[in-house]
A = this chain, B = another copy of it.
């Protein structure tokens, strides 16, 4: 049984805020919980906020380019780029929503590191071994609509590796590397009422065997050399 809960009443996060302390104040955590934190509040706490030059019509586009190492596609105002982290997404993941008008929020510099820091602080304060996922909302190449995915993780496996496992018929399984952290991020989004400020969700009931040292950067980001569409 998995349960997912998104506490309401989170304060608006400011640069310099200690997210671990705020999460502990707002949530009743248990051992082996996975805490899914939307990247927006991580970026705000880390002051990844930029004021757009109101006199430059191309200010947003320039910002996207400065956060990208490659442009994959462009259609009108939409840019699909590869960020310096290696994420392929719209507008380098830069968001002008949930921030004052005229400003934009960049992705965290290193979401795996941000996750690790939150995890270590929560462990130091409570002794709990939990997983942390930093989530964001990405589109998909072949499907309409967006889903929440994991930008960074700590303490929970990004990939569940079933290679070599056989099914009841003795066949080697086809789908063997499950993007566990991405599935958890998507699941967490289901618990967030869309009208309320709910930047954090707690996913409880994940198999304790899936908790380990991990990172999205090393396990999930597909290098261009490996993929078929870049």
Contact = CB atoms under 8 A, between A and B. Distances in A.
B4 A1 contact: yes
A143 B149 contact: yes
Nearest to A207: B193
Nearest to A99: B169
A97 B171 contact: yes
Interface in A76-104: 80, 87-88, 95-101
Nearest to A91: B174
Query: Most chain-B Cβ atoms within 10 A of its Cβ — which of A3, A178, A180, A186?
Result: A186
Contacts of A169: 97-101
Interface residues of A, number: 72
A142 B227 contact: yes
A162 interface: yes
A230 B112 CA distance: 32
Q: Is chain A's interface secondary structure helix, strand, loop, or mixed overall?
A: loop
Contacts of A37: none
A179 B99 contact: no
Interface stretch (A43-51, A126-134, A218-226): A218-226
B228 A171 contact: no
Contact of A168 (B175, B178, B194, B197): B197
Contacts of A160: 194
A172 to B, nearest CB: 7
Query: Most chain-B Cβ atoms within 10 A of its Cβ — which of A167, A173, A187?
Result: A187
Contacts of A173: 97
A141 interface: yes
Interface in A141-176: 141-149, 158-160, 162, 165, 167-175
Given A140-B179, A141-B142, A183-B186, A97 B147 contact: no
Contacts of A229: 72-73, 141-142, 229
A189 interface: yes
Contacts of A219: 144-145
11 contacts: A1-B191, A2-B2, A2-B5, A88-B142, A97-B172, A99-B171, A144-B159, A145-B180, A147-B179, A165-B194, A190-B206
